[in-house]
Structure 1
Amino acid sequence: MFTGPRELRSVGKRIIWLSERPAWLESQRHQFLRHLSHELKTPLASMREGTELLADRVAGPLTPEQQEIVEILDSSSRNLQKLIEQLLDYNRKQADGPVAREAVDWWTVENVVAAHSLPARAKLMHTELTLQARRCLAEPALLISVMDNLYSNAVHYGAESGNIRIHSYRHGEQVRIDVANSGEPIPAAEKNMIFEPFYQGSHQRKGAVKGSGLGLSIARDCVRQMQGELSLVDAPAGQVCFRITLPSAPE
């Protein structure tokens, strides 16, 4: 109960603060992503230079296995550079509403799978591609970024010797793309939190590269920019499945 004008003024200030906070948080997020993208450019350039020196055999001859690893490093560093550029572009596009879309062939997902072949092979994981719907309406760079995030998560969080399934199919006027992996299910208490910025669940990534808690949040925003939706859906026991829903395109 309010006992006087002072309390009413205090409540009014609180309401104004709460109404302004979402816009402030959004601006802070964009500023952080912009700064993060710029800070990543210098170490990435050094990594690219080192990889090129190895590829040129400056440090000595390479075995076939080492050559394959260098090629994967080179490809991954180029992909990372593209992702950083896309992230900067994404921040610029956020204020512009939906992005321009075009018909995208889903076979481009093979490039994403190839980019993560080394960690998947190290965990003895098998990837199954079932692309019944071949095309959807999307912005190509954003879609590849989303798929890279989901597939990378499937590799790093998935079970040893497990399976990853990428399945695209039509559902009415939409295309659904399921990215599922065998592994420990996401706890029910965390399902509503995993798309929040910086949220890191109880299941941490394995390996040297740790998650930032931004990947799924950015992925969902990218899909929404393309007038679609990204969600965590129910899956058989022992599986985790994320679903992208986008408008279909003529086959």
Structure 2
Amino acid sequence: MSSWILLGYLAVSFPLLLGIGLGQWSLIELTRHSKALVQDGSQVTQLGNRLRDDVTNLERTARQYVALGDNELLVLFYQRIARLDETLSLMRDHGLDRDFGFSLVTMRGQLAELVRQWNKGLQSGNELSQAIQGVRQLGEQAEKLVKAGHASIKRETGNLQRAAATARQRMLICALGLVPVALLAIWLLMRRLRRALASLRQAISVIGHGHQDRPIRVEGPRELVEVGERLDWLRRRLAELEGEKDRFLRHVSHELKTPLASLREAADLMGHDSVGILNPQQVELRSILLESADELHEQIAHLLAYAAWRREQKRQRATDLTAAEFADDLHGRFELQMQRHGLQWQPDIRCELIHGQPARLQEAAENLISNAIKHAPRDSAIEFGLCCVDGHFELSVRDHGAGVPDNEKDIIFEPFQRGHQTHEQGIPGTGVGLSIVSECALAHSGEVFVEDAQPGSRFVFRWPDQS
């Protein structure tokens, strides 16, 4: 009888032990995949930024050598080729899937072809314009490679989610054969697993949205707790780097003022005949120096203002705002400016309230409207919209100008980046406004993007309703 009782206990315990063992195995696999995904994502992002810098430096050195013919620049060119090849080798070590590997092989082939064209041009004494074109194509392939890396990370994230779903299905099948105690044990295990994965996903979301002021705590098994501790270390490190960036902006801006003042003073002394009477060429050179000094002074002022704005905006709190009043206030601020440009204000308000940080929302809207006014043709309209769709608020500004090329729709939201058409048309600006809009979107866990309006562009600032 005792043997039958033992067999009965074993029969009842086996599904429970099987379910627990399967759950633990799934948890370990998910943890391993999560760690690998976090590490690969961080490495691919860092190497992608390094790759962009390497290609930019390579093109700059190549153009400098073509212009100056300095042998030291030629040596530097080959050094940059070696560094770029090293970066590609490091990215190969973190290869994610076939598409990423194909883009990597393509770029390495282009790099080898570039070196061949360059060496051929040097040996034959011909122009190196074809090699310069190859460097530019290398930059385009670098962007494709970075995008392929991001897409691969996204696919790996989807695989991780599907693996979690598969783990839940397996555990459910085992649960069907358990006694009530076993069902309760598996339910507790599933709850623990879901809570751990949810806290891990929330922790990654906190870092992704730039909320470095929120501590990260992951509850669950020791492995996930360790991942949470590493994520919290990463959060603190990002916060330190963010502070260092702000301090760097302030420090560099202040340090540039002294030599700039000396340059300005020297140019002024030249105008007072302190070094003799200037000939026409020297007068023109002095005028260029003064104009450049004034432009540099303006850029430094914008740098300081941008750093001060970042410090101030970190202390904002969200509240409800009346959408119509918000739009009317913006119209009042830009009414005279729009009249001077012959522009009409066309509001489209489809919600009563919006929820967010007032100063940041106003700053974002003002920068979008100011940008639209700069690019809108005379006697056209500025279309301003506010609405709430699927639990998200949307603020949109449209102009009827020339639009934004596809290859510039991302970079224009980076600090101090301006579109090619903006430079060609001589439109004033520093490239800070749209980056401020991007910062505002990040602070609201939202996004900002530009889409073709045919004619013109529509800038959309979308953020979730967290009221």
Letter of the 1:164 counterpart: I
* Counterpart contact for 2:416–2:430, Cα < 8 Å: yes
Using structure 2 for the length normalisation, give the TM-score. 0.35
Cross-structure match for 1:90: 310
Letter of the 1:172 counterpart: D
State the 1:206 CA deviation. 11
CA distance in 1, matches of 2:347, 2:432: 26
* Counterpart contact for 1:233–1:242, Cα < 8 Å: yes
Identical aligned residues as a percent: 18
Letter of the 1:104 counterpart: L
In structure 2, do the counterparts of structure 1 residues 136 and 248 end up closer, same or farther at CA, with 3 Å as the change threshold? farther
State the 1:36 CA deviation. 6.8
**Counterpart pick for 1:172 among 366, 390, 394:** 390
State the 1:164 CA deviation. 0.7
In structure 2, do the counterparts of structure 1 residues 238 and 93 end up closer, same or farther at CA, with 3 Å as the change threshold? closer
**Counterpart pick for 2:414 among 196, 203, 209:** 196
Q: Which of structures 1 and 2 has the larger relative contact order (alpha carbons within 8 angstroms, sep 6+)?
A: 1
Structure 1 runs (4+) greater than 4 angstroms displaced = 23-26, 33-37, 84-87, 205-209
State the 1:249 CA deviation. 7.1
Letter of the 1:245 counterpart: R
- After TM superposition, list the pairs within 5 Å mapping 1:31-180 onto structure 2: 31-32=248-249, 88=308, 90-91=310-311, 94=314, 99-106=316-323, 107-180=325-398
CA distance in 2, matches of 1:121, 1:225: 33
CA distance in 2, matches of 1:242, 1:205: 20
* Counterpart contact for 2:249–2:307, Cα < 8 Å: no
2:248 paired with 1:28: no
Structure 2: stretches of 5+ with no match in the other structure: 1-81, 91-236, 255-303
CA distance in 2, matches of 1:30, 1:165: 38
The structure in which a higher percent of residues are strand is 1
State the 1:156 CA deviation. 1.2
* Counterpart contact for 1:165–1:179, Cα < 8 Å: yes
* Counterpart contact for 1:166–1:177, Cα < 8 Å: yes
CA distance in 2, matches of 1:87, 1:112: 24
Structure 1: stretches of 5+ with no match in the other structure: 1-6, 38-83
* Counterpart contact for 2:382–2:399, Cα < 8 Å: yes
CA distance in 2, matches of 1:123, 1:193: 27
* Counterpart contact for 2:412–2:418, Cα < 8 Å: yes
In structure 2, do the counterparts of structure 1 residues 142 and 85 end up closer, same or farther at CA, with 3 Å as the change threshold? farther
Letter of the 1:201 counterpart: G
* Counterpart contact for 1:113–1:151, Cα < 8 Å: no
Letter of the 1:246 counterpart: W
Q: Secondary structure at the match of 1:194?
A: helix
* Counterpart contact for 2:403–2:452, Cα < 8 Å: no
CA distance in 2, matches of 1:207, 1:186: 13
Cross-structure match for 1:183: 401
CA distance in 1, matches of 2:307, 2:363: 9
Q: Secondary structure at the match of 1:115?
A: helix
CA distance in 1, matches of 2:345, 2:380: 9
For the aligned residues, what is the CA RMSD? 3.8
Q: Number of aligned residue pairs: give it.
A: 186
CA distance in 2, matches of 1:163, 1:225: 30
State the 1:24 CA deviation. 5.7
Using structure 1 for the length normalisation, give the TM-score. 0.62
State the 1:223 CA deviation. 1.9
The structure in which a higher percent of residues are helix is 2
State the 1:119 CA deviation. 2.3
- Please identify the structure whose Cα radius of gyration is greater: 2
